[in-house]
Amino acid sequence: MARVVVIGATGHVGGYLVPRLVGAGHEVVAVSRGESSPYREDRAWQQVERRQLDRDALEAEGRFGSAVAELGGDILVDLICFTLASARQLVEAVADDIDLLVHIGTIWTHGHSVAVPTPEDVVKHPFGAYGVAKLEIEQYLLRLARRDGLPATIVHPGHIVGPGWVPLNPAGHFNPLTYASIARGESLRLPNLGLETVHHVHADDVAGVVMATIEHAGVAVGESFHAVSDRAMSLRGYAEEMFRWFGHEPALELLPYEQWAQAEDPEDAAATLEHISRSPSCSMAKAHRLLDFRPRHSSLEAVQESVTWLIDHGRLAI
């Protein structure tokens, strides 16, 4: 078994990944900025080595990469790398000493969908600072992997959901009141025809793809893999299923985006535009073929588990 260093270990994905690594017999070093508790409680954390490293502060001093290298990991899983400069500093410090680097990217590196379901290995045209920066990191890592033998692989999650936080809702934003309105059977306004898509993934399935890249490192190096549910959902289909889940017939009002946005909170409307402008629908065929991985949760199952948690913990009044 390997010594695995997980950067950003106490967050959503790390809360599932770290117990999986421990259960597989790995020695785990969990790196986080502060002393925050893991997002999910699990007795496996009693066997984990905890280290505090303030990435932003150490990177500003040029010392984050060397600080991670000193931890002596065989495998490095980076859950919180968002800029090319950040990736460079880490890689230059650890490249000669690791067996595998797993970088967590995003399906937003694709930008607009052209043909769906979208495979990983298509020409990408991202827009927006986040997607563009993540593509720069992906291209950098895969270029080094294929040219210089850097043992790197990329995992691209969709809209991550799970118990403990509000999932992306059928209106394309994160306001929990949307679920409360559906639960009461009230009419829900959607932009356009409601046919734009969102593609969720349970945080545990993201952790599952990471575990699969470790298990199948021989074929994972130099490749990128989506981490999404088997199928994306249209906003309309998503809304209709949630109405039925709460015991109501769907009640939808469809309006052109500009008209719809006038009655919405500006922050919510902006988030919706970000999502429907991309309308992702990504393929899991490559992960199935090369990693023998299939997601455990459908989009609806993942969302409904999350909403159930919100209700049970008093975070959503219905």
Quick check: 191 pLDDT over 90? yes
What confidence score (pLDDT) does residue 37 get? 81
What 3-state DSSP class applies to 263? coil
Partners of residue 5 on adjacent β-strands:
29, 76
What confidence score (pLDDT) does residue 172 get? 98
- The C-alpha atoms of residue 81 and residue 90 are separated, in whole angstroms, by 9
E strand residue ranges, the chain: 3-7, 27-32, 49-52, 75-78, 100-104, 152-157, 159-161, 188-191, 197-198, 200-202, 224-227, 233-234, 252-255
Mean pLDDT across the stretch 136-141? Answer: 98
Q: In this predicted model, what pLDDT tens digit does every residue of 275-299 receive, in sequence order?
A: 999 999 999 999 999 999 999 999 9
Q: In this predicted model, what pLDDT tens digit does every residue of 58-88 receive, in sequence order?
A: 999 999 999 999 999 999 999 999 999 999 9
What six digits make up the tokens of 24?
């597989």
- The C-alpha atoms of residue 40 and residue 223 are separated, in whole angstroms, by 29
Query: For a pLDDT cut of 70, what percent of the chain falls above it?
Result: 100
What confidence score (pLDDT) does residue 34 get? 80
- The C-alpha atoms of residue 11 and residue 259 are separated, in whole angstroms, by 37
What six digits make up the tokens of 74?
């065989």
Nearest to 88 by CA among 141, 126, 131, 129: 141
What confidence score (pLDDT) does residue 219 get? 98
Query: For a pLDDT cut of 90, what percent of the chain falls above it?
Result: 96
Q: How many residues does the chain have?
A: 318
pTM here? 0.97
Buried b (16+ CB within 10 A) or exposed e, 86-98: bbebbbebbbeeb
Quick check: 36 pLDDT over 80? no
Helix and strand counts by DSSP (H, E) for the chain = 13, 13
- Describe the chain by its helix, strand, coil percentages, rounded to 5: 45, 20, 40
Model confidence band, residue 145 (pLDDT cutoffs 50, 70, 90):
very high
**Given the structure tokens 């922050």, which residue do they identify?**
267
Q: What are phi and psi of 227, to 5 degrees?
A: -130, 90
Mean pLDDT across the stretch 8-16? Answer: 96
Q: In this predicted model, what pLDDT tens digit does every residue of 91-113 receive, in sequence order?
A: 999 999 999 999 999 999 999 98
- The C-alpha atoms of residue 40 and residue 72 are separated, in whole angstroms, by 26
Please, which residues have CB within 8 angstroms of residue 72's CB and are 6 or more apart in sequence?
Answer: 3, 97
